[in-house]
Amino acid sequence: MPTTLTQLPDSILPLLETMRELDASDLHLKTGVPPVYRVAGALRRTSLPVIEVNSRYIEKLMEPIMPQRRIEEFHRRGGLDFAYNLPNGDRFRINVMQSCDQLHAAIRRVRGRIPNFEELHLPAVYRKLSEEAGEGLIIVCGVTGCGKSTTMAAMIDHINETQSVNIISIEDPIEYAFRPKKSIVSQREIGLDLETFADGLRSAVRQDPDVIFVGEMRDRETMLASLQAAETGHLVFCTLHTADTMQSLTRILEFFPQDQHTFIRSSLANSLKAVLAQRLLPAIDPKISRVPAVEVLLGDPIVKEKIREAEDTDLPEIIAGNLEAGMVNFTTSLGRLVEEGMVYTDVAMEYAPNREQLTGMLHGIKTSAQSMVHRVKHRPAG
Do 126 and 224 have their domain in common?
A: yes
pLDDT in tens, 249-296: 999 999 999 999 999 999 999 999 999 999 999 999 988 889 999 999
User: Model's pTM, two decimal places?
Assistant: 0.81
Do 104 and 125 have their domain in common?
A: no
For residue 107, pLDDT beyond 80: yes
Do 354 and 276 have their domain in common?
A: yes
Phi, psi of 262 (to 5 degrees): -60, -45
Predicted confidence band of residue 113 (pLDDT cuts 50, 70, 90): confident
Cα separations (Å) of 218 from 66, 110, 215, 221?
24, 22, 9, 9
Q: In terms of C-beta density within 10 A (0-12 exposed, 13-18 middle, 19 or more buried), how is residue 130 classed?
A: buried
Do 40 and 128 have their domain in common?
A: no
CATH number of the domain that 81 lies in? 3.30.450.90
CATH number of the domain that 315 lies in? 3.40.50.300
Phi, psi of 297 (to 5 degrees): -115, 120
Do 207 and 332 have their domain in common?
A: yes
Do 311 and 193 have their domain in common?
A: yes
Q: For residue 119, list its beta bridge partners.
A: none
Do 219 and 345 have their domain in common?
A: yes
Tally of domains within the chain: 2
Residue at 343 is within a domain: yes
Express as a percent the part of the chain with pLDDT over 70.
Answer: 95
Express as a percent the part of the chain with pLDDT over 90.
Answer: 76
For residue 228, pLDDT beyond 90: yes
- For the segment 298-308, the average pLDDT, to the nearest whole number, is 97
pLDDT in tens, 313-370: 999 999 999 988 999 999 999 999 999 999 999 999 999 999 999 999 887 555 554 4
Do 259 and 344 have their domain in common?
A: yes
User: Which of 42, 77, 110 delimits the end of a domain?
Assistant: 110
| Among 186, 182, 155, residue whose Cα is nearest residue 168 | 186
- For the segment 179-186, the average pLDDT, to the nearest whole number, is 96
Do 254 and 326 have their domain in common?
A: yes
Residue at 91 is within a domain: yes
Do 227 and 102 have their domain in common?
A: no
How confident is the model at residue 365, as a pLDDT?
A: 54
Residue 253 Rama label (left phi>0; alpha psi -120 to 50; beta): alpha
Query: What is the residue range of 28's domain?
Result: 13-110
pLDDT in tens, 165-182: 999 999 988 888 899 999
